[in-house]
Amino acid sequence: MKVIEKFADEVINSGAYQPLDRVYVINKICGLVGDYGEEENDKPAVKQLVDIAVKNKKIPDDVTSREVLNDQLYDLATPTPSKTNEIFGQKMERSSEKATDWFYKLCVNNNYVKKEAIAKNVVFSGTSSKGHGLEITINLSKPEKDPKAIAAAAHAAGKKYPQCALCLENEGYVGGYGKNARSNLRIIRMNIAGKPWGFQYSPYAYFNEHCIFLDQKHIPMVINQQTLINLVEIEKMLPHYFVGSNADLPIVGGSMLAHEHYQGGRHTFPMMKAKIKKPVSFKQYPDVKAGIVDWPMSDLRLISENSLDLIDLGTKIIKFWAQYSDPARKINAYEGKIRHHTVTPIMHRKGKKFVLDLVLRDNNTSKDYPLGIFHPHKQLWHIKKENIGLIEVMGRAILPGRLKSELEEVKKYWLGKDNKMADSHKEWADQVKVKEKITTDNVNQIMEKALVEVFEQVLQDAGVFKNTEDGEKGWDKFITALTEDVD
């Protein structure tokens, strides 16, 4: 019983229960893992308890069952949703930063934010030959899908509960095969522009304090004036975080278009550091500084202390871009009644100023570019084929986990060693090999540099106005038409 009693003490020390509750807590733990325990080993108490549950045949020995029990045990050491919200609210009255510090620490301590898994990710940064600072991550944190979970999802029928992974109904949901384990999830209730929203952290974070703001209703994503109002409201509440939305169209949008949500957190992305390369003046908005950003994607930035003017001008730009076409550059707003234009809006604060980046997106496809004209082109698919979402727009690549082992083989190829390099990498690997003098001392550095260059090209492909002479002409044409329309 030693490890069971140890975890019971951890639960009580967390503040979720009182010392008088100790016997009750021990029995709750026994009910989950069985009465038989073992002497302690070096593993964390919860991992030991999950092993005990397997030995006691309380759960099958598979990934999903272990994950579900892990979260149920940590749930015992987590305040109830009402208590969590009460404490957060009290701390918000004193400092929004102290409130998020407390909530984030809670979500790390109760293992909702999977710090151990996140630490497996490969992360580095560099500067491309175009002069853009970029960040690269190879995502290794999310566990591989359990075959039983895949089978369960394939045979699932009828209405889902919760409807999706972002729904408020996930809070405290036990989960199972094909369903998210969310026993230890806590969601802070928020009023954003008069509507009920939620605020939580991402379990497999892509950056520091990666959080999600979610509409309490399961409604589709949309980018409009209300989006900008909501982003401003969030920035007023949490000025130390950035907040942004994925685009609301397939190909250029995120993977969860069915549920209105934003992402945010405490991280300064490369795009935020990028300077305005060409100022743009809007006569009707003298309090708003505007300009085209020196960035691989097509980013129009607005800066102002006057949030109302920022929202008004930003809305006009979104509406104008939604109708704007430039067929010579394959930019077409509509195909019949099908809309192809939207933006990825991102906001952060610089002191009293609100900084709004509106990244222009176009999701047209063609015979030559079936996955998207403004999407990573085929020669880059060996590294990045997936959609370019909010985080990557800002300059942080999220590359698939398969690359960790694949790129080791590429390095062996460069060094003339026996290797099993995938054929898909050969053309690229040869191009790099010709340009660089690669040795065992610099091979890792060369690989990082090469990946930064690939990601630069990925973003260039996704930009509607290219960083070329023709692209600059396209920008000029768009800005001239936009300012005439706005002013």
**Which tens digit of pLDDT belongs to each residue from 287-323?**
999 999 999 999 999 999 999 999 999 999 999 999 9
- Residue 31's domain spans which residues? 2-58
pTM, entire model: 0.94
Assess whether pLDDT exceeds 70 at residue 158.
no
Percent of the chain with pLDDT over 70: 96
> Does 51 reside within a domain?
yes
237: CB partners within 8 A, 6+ apart: 92, 96, 190
Q: What is the DSSP string of 50-103?
A: HHHHHHTTSS-SSHHHHHHHHHHHHHHTS--HHHHHHHHHHHHHH-HHHHHHHH
**Which tens digit of pLDDT belongs to each residue from 114-127?**
999 999 999 999 99
**Which tens digit of pLDDT belongs to each residue from 219-240?**
999 999 999 999 999 999 999 9
15: CB partners within 8 A, 6+ apart: 79
Helices 403-414 and 443-462, interaxial angle, to 10°?
A: 120
pLDDT confidence bin for 254, thresholds 50/70/90: confident
Q: Please state the domain count of the chain.
A: 1
d(CA 433, CA 446): 10
pLDDT confidence bin for 147, thresholds 50/70/90: low
426: CB partners within 8 A, 6+ apart: none
Q: What's the confidence (pLDDT) of residue 177? A: 87
d(CA 127, CA 43): 40
> Does 17 reside within a domain?
yes
**Which tens digit of pLDDT belongs to each residue from 457-486?**
999 999 999 999 999 999 999 999 999 999
Q: What's the confidence (pLDDT) of residue 142? A: 74
Mean pLDDT of 418-426: 97
Residues 315, 209 contacting (CB under 8 angstroms): no
Assess whether pLDDT exceeds 90 at residue 191.
yes
216: CB partners within 8 A, 6+ apart: 168, 189, 195, 196, 197, 198
Q: What is the DSSP string of 95-146?
A: -HHHHHHHHHHHHHHTTSS-HHHHTTSEEEEEE-TTS-EEEEEE---SPPPP
pLDDT confidence bin for 42, thresholds 50/70/90: confident
What's the distance, CA 477 to chain centroid? Answer: 33
Q: What's the confidence (pLDDT) of residue 145? A: 58
> Does 52 reside within a domain?
yes
| Chain mean pLDDT for the chain | 94
Assess whether pLDDT exceeds 90 at residue 262.
yes
> Does 386 reside within a domain?
no
Q: What's the confidence (pLDDT) of residue 475? A: 98
Q: What's the confidence (pLDDT) of residue 476? A: 97
Q: What's the confidence (pLDDT) of residue 149? A: 62
Residues 264, 244 contacting (CB under 8 angstroms): yes
> Does 31 reside within a domain?
yes
Helix (H, G, I), strand (E, B) or coil at 405: helix
Structure token digits, residue 403: 């690359």
Helix (H, G, I), strand (E, B) or coil at 248: coil
Assess whether pLDDT exceeds 70 at residue 38.
no
Residues 49, 68 contacting (CB under 8 angstroms): no
> Does 9 reside within a domain?
yes
Q: Helix, strand, coil shares of the chain as percentages rounded to 5?
A: 40, 20, 40
Mean pLDDT of 384-388: 93
> Does 48 reside within a domain?
yes
pLDDT confidence bin for 331, thresholds 50/70/90: very high
Q: What's the confidence (pLDDT) of residue 448? A: 98
**Which tens digit of pLDDT belongs to each residue from 93-140?**
999 999 999 999 999 999 999 999 999 999 999 999 999 999 999 999
More confidently predicted of 51 and 1: 51
Q: What's the confidence (pLDDT) of residue 256? A: 86
Q: What's the confidence (pLDDT) of residue 255? A: 78
> Does 30 reside within a domain?
yes
Q: Is the dihedral of CA 124, 129, 131, 132 positive or negative?
A: negative
